[in-house]
Structure 1
Amino acid sequence: MHLFLENHCKSLVSFWTGKYKGLDEGKECYVIAPAVWDAIGCETAEASNTIPSTFGRRTPNIATEQHIFTAEDWSFWTLFIAPYVLDRRFFRPKYYKHFMKFHSIMKTTLQFSFTDAELGSLHERVIDYIQEYESIYYQFKPDRLSVCTLAVHALLHIADDIKTNGPPCYNWTFVMERWCQHLLPAVKSHKRPFVSLAMRQYHLALFNEIQTRYELFEALQLTPSKKELSHYEVVYKEYPHSILQPPRRGGKPFTDWLRNLVAAYLTTVFNIRISTAKRVIPETFTAWGKVRIANGGDCIRVKSAQDLYADRSQDASFVCYEVLADRNAFSKFSATDFVRIIHYGTLEMILEIIIPPNPSLRTMEPRRFILALVSDCKTDGKDAAKDIVTFTKIGPCAIVDLAAICAVVGCFKYG
């Protein structure tokens, strides 16, 4: 953690702002103009408005509040914000490409497992990154030797350390720092603080021993489990992985526009004409404000409910959802070939409707549908887990099954 976040990331930012140990750029021109860096700082701070708290706390302004950055802030900024806000901000593209090599290395080290081939590839990429680092920042001049720090040299041993000690996520200091947060409130005595710490540690160890020996993990659970439903949450058997939360508004009438969208969705479900679909749709529906994905999944808020808390919360209405599309939809004589396509968009509304039995639908019992009204972003099916995904246009709204929503995601405006 400290190698990447508390050392090397800080050094790179010091280079880009022209504040690294009093050194100038030499023969290079990697320093970002102050006005541009101020804009990057503002974009970093404003990004938190549309990044859900699921991803962490608000990221401070890196231009004016870098002194309060924690390792968690450096990690989030480097992994998720920097690839966007630094794009086309350098005088030469090679500096951005060099940073993205470091970004790729950092993402690789977050894996939960590694093969020998992956470790070999990681080692080669680190060597390539360090060689380019020396060319850009060291420039092979004795008076710039201070840029070749021990932290830079330690990068060369990452692959070997992983092979010896296992993935970094199993032995980094985040765990110890979180534990220290539990111990700190125990210091009640200014005269004997270490006695207070020791007693706190003893009581926690005793509590854990009782849980383990008598298998009382659930009975002595101090924090509420996300697996349990609260009194205000609702889950239906047709949608076991979608836990609905208030606000709830029943008896809302359909507008013609919304009825047409729902009808278009039902035509694909029942393989019927759109005129038939319009007739079977009830006059009213129930609207829900939030949904939580079961088994520890994300909590997502519809856009209209999000706007009620816009002045003090982080937007949790931007979602990732998956749909199946026929690859041969425009080929009349080809067999259907469904492929999974990833979409991103804003969750505008959650609708619960019950379709009564109808001979046209070949249904004998009422059927419940929980649907999502989503404003689709034009991302060309790219996967943000693999590529940098951007969009400039938001397409028309569409109705999808609520179960198609995979997770809440973050987005922000830059450039």
Structure 2
Amino acid sequence: TFSMLRKACEKWVLDYEKFYYQYEPERVSACPLTIHGLLHVPDALVEIGPVWTHWAFPTERYCGRIQPAIKSRRHPFVAIDNYIVLQAQLSQIKLIYGVESELSLKVPRSKERKRRNPSCILLPPHRTSSSVPKTIIEKILICFATRFDTTKAVVRRHLDIDTIVQWAKVRRLNGGDEMAASALVPFAEDRRDTTFIRYDMLVDLNTRRRRVQPVYQKQSFYRQLQHILVVTLPAAEELGLNSQTTFVLAAIHRCQVQGTSHSGAAYYEQMGALEVVDMSAVQCLIGRIEAVNDMRKFVIDRTGTLQSSYYVTGE
């Protein structure tokens, strides 16, 4: 019952003060406000119900939104009330007169998106070419040399390194995943690692037999997305480009898959070489589970309709 809960909270606070506060004024720092707040928990449950009925993630977000409005320590609730009223009035003005973009104090997220191609959209933040390592530049040259069936020297003549831009995130269109570049989005223990991806490529089954007609088959690979690159090439007859063209590339770190488990899950222990591919080949995010007894990491691949790629003969 609530009376039992009220007595239990009171006893806990008294015991806490006895052990930590010890009734000495110089030890008052051991009694934060949250300790006193426990005394009000039973009464709050009686008045507004359990926590799950009135506190949720939207509530927390809203509290974080109005917190900067507290400018006065003497009258905090007056400041909050004024802020809410002004926000409501401003929202109505935007809706009635259609001036939402004109009155916005920040750039809309849709306008921060750049370099959209048919399969994905890039999201901020972004960095200039000075942040691109030289090793990545060499991989870009190799990527274009393979794409245009030419040499690195030819590509280098037309590639302006100063135009290369790095982006932090990429989102597959039509309900696809949002993936992050590990070079610009640091890993944190309190959030998911959205840098490991699956990408599909057409592989020549007769690559070791040069005199045999190529036979291409789609294969899936698992990699870590390290850099998202936007590269612009000018019109160049040597490259077969009739006009200036922008390419979205992905610098990915290879997961050296060693085999599959009895359930079909691929696993790896080490990372391999770095390569640059077209972003359209990147399909979706993958999950990873590290084995308890060894260093193997098992891949969780959510293969489905949204993550499937299709290749049409001749493209």
- TM-score of the pair, normalised by structure 1: 0.42
Is the counterpart of residue 323 in structure 1 residue 193 in structure 2? no
2:252 equivalent in structure 1? 374
| Partner Cα separation in structure 1 for residue 132 and residue 184 of structure 2 | 19
Q: Please, which of 106, 110, 113 is the counterpart of residue 230 of structure 1?
A: 110
- Larger helix proportion of the pair: 1
Letter of the 1:349 counterpart: H
1:394 equivalent in structure 2? 271
Q: Please, which of 301, 318, 321 is the counterpart of residue 180 of structure 2?
A: 301
**Residues 263 and 274, structure 1, Cα contact 8 Å, conserved in 2:** yes
1:277 equivalent in structure 2? 155
- Larger RCO: Structure 1 or Structure 2 (Cα < 8 Å, ≥ 6 residues apart)? 1
Letter of the 1:329 counterpart: T
**Residues 306 and 316, structure 1, Cα contact 8 Å, conserved in 2:** no
User: Could you say what the CA RMSD is over the residues aligned between the two structures, in angstroms?
Assistant: 2.5
Q: Which runs of 5+ in 1 are unaligned?
A: 1-182, 187-227
SS in 2 for 1:370: strand
1:408 equivalent in structure 2? 285
Q: Please, which of 217, 220, 240 is the counterpart of residue 362 of structure 1?
A: 240
| Partner Cα separation in structure 2 for residue 366 and residue 374 of structure 1 | 25
| Partner Cα separation in structure 1 for residue 213 and residue 109 of structure 2 | 44
Deviations 1:38-59, CA, capped at 9 Å, x for gaps: xxxxxxxxxxxxxxxxxxxxxx
**Residues 263 and 277, structure 1, Cα contact 8 Å, conserved in 2:** yes
Larger Rg: 2
Deviations 1:57-80, CA, capped at 9 Å, x for gaps: xxxxxxxxxxxxxxxxxxxxxxxx
| Partner Cα separation in structure 2 for residue 244 and residue 364 of structure 1 | 25
Deviations 1:356-387, CA, capped at 9 Å, x for gaps: 111211222111111000001112697x9x71
Q: CA deviation at 1:270?
A: 0.7
**Residues 203 and 218, structure 2, Cα contact 8 Å, conserved in 1:** yes
**Residues 356 and 366, structure 1, Cα contact 8 Å, conserved in 2:** yes
| Partner Cα separation in structure 1 for residue 156 and residue 258 of structure 2 | 30
**Residues 259 and 266, structure 2, Cα contact 8 Å, conserved in 1:** no
Q: CA deviation at 1:413?
A: 1.9
Q: CA deviation at 1:234?
A: 2.8
**Residues 121 and 172, structure 2, Cα contact 8 Å, conserved in 1:** yes
- After TM superposition, the runs of 4+ consecutive aligned structure 1 residues lying more than 6 A away are none
How many pairs are equivalent?
187
SS in 1 for 2:111: coil
SS in 1 for 2:160: coil
Cα 1:344–1:311 shift into 2, 3 Å:
same
Q: CA deviation at 1:185?
A: 5.1
SS in 1 for 2:185: helix
